[in-house]
Amino acid sequence: MNVFITGATGFIGSALVKELIGAGHQVLGLARSQAAADSLLAMGAAVHRGDLQDLASLQTGAATADGVIHAGFVHDFSRFKEVCEIDRLAIEAMGSTLAGSGRPFIVTSGTALVSPGILATEDRKSQHDPNKFPRVSESAGFSFTDQGVRTVAIRLSPSVHGEGDHHGFVPMLINIARQKGVAAYIGEGLNRWNAVHRLDAVRLYRLALEQGETGARYHAVGDEAITLKTIAEAIGKKLNIPVVSIAPEEAPAHFGPFAAFAAIDCPASSKLTQERLNWHPEHPSLPDDLATDIYFN
């Protein structure tokens, strides 16, 4: 299969390119710079120049492919509403190009806001309010299922971890801990995240591309529930700094824009994903990765 991938040189996308090529697929990767193009060529992929805001380039890339994986996203939380709109328009551009083709279209969303405080499952629609959290990747993608597009959603864990993770949620927590001199959690720290190793995540993308059913949601989840206190304790141990509790009213001052994510309680299951796609996490857990030096060099 010839697969067009956005975000092809990112932390997840670069591993996904290798996963797909290793399984015998051809990859056309979106590249907005010469450095990105060179990286794709070195991995054995073809290059399609453009970016997420160049809708014409996205449509051209999608038109030439047997399937599309949208793994790109502008990770700028300071203008989150704007980048979510960029994401929506990109999905609509590619989806409209695929309409009537029956080709697979894999969009990326997350588990974090599916059902806060309750174990999130694949059959549960996301409960988040788009006016408060404007990322609408799933609904934008699924709007094309009635137009002959085999849209599938991959819900990523808040932490997609592994070597090379420099900009994810765990590195953000580590950077805050370095700056503040303490590894902190909010209140009792019993709110839970879920996590997945990036190599397990990219294998799920491939299986969803090859076997996923129209309208399906698959959970890239290895660890169902890890408390923020556990994560803070692992960070404190590696940085040799105190581990402290922060009162909820003090969290914005300590964590800044990341406070809401540090407080979220989002356990999630991948039981149905494992059953439906015969996908099983095989790589290290987040606690295992935090026990090594990959996040602390």
Phi/psi-derived region of residue 276, left when phi > 0, alpha when psi is between -120 and 50, beta in every other case: alpha
Question: Any idea what DSSP says for residue 249?
Answer: G
- Three-state secondary-structure class, residue 154: strand
- What is the distance in angstroms between the CA of the first residue and the CA of the last residue of the chain? 38
Structure tokens at 269: 């299951």
pTM: 0.96
Domain boundaries, the chain: 2-159+196-221, 163-195+224-268+282-290
Mean pLDDT of 161-184: 96
**Superfamily covering domain 2-159+196-221:** NAD(P)-binding Rossmann-like Domain (3.40.50.720)
Dihedral (C-alpha) 62, 65, 66, 72: value to the nearest 10 degrees? Answer: -50
- Average pLDDT value for the chain: 96
Q: What angle do CA 220, 150, 24 make, to 5 degrees?
A: 70
Instruction: Evaluate if residue 78 carries a pLDDT over 80.
Output: no
Neighbour tally for 138: CB within 10 Å: 22
What is the tens place of the pLDDT at every residue in 256-281? 989 999 999 999 999 999 999 999 99
What is the tens place of the pLDDT at every residue in 99-136? 999 999 999 999 998 999 999 999 999 877 777 777 89
Please provide the CATH number assigned to the domain covering 163-195+224-268+282-290: 3.90.25
- Tracing tokens 């799920």 back to the chain, one arrives at 204
- For residues 247 and 262, the answer to whether their CB atoms sit within 8 Å is no
The b-or-e profile of 44-74 (16+ CB within 10 A means b, else e) is ebebbebbbebbebbbbbbeebebbbbbbbb
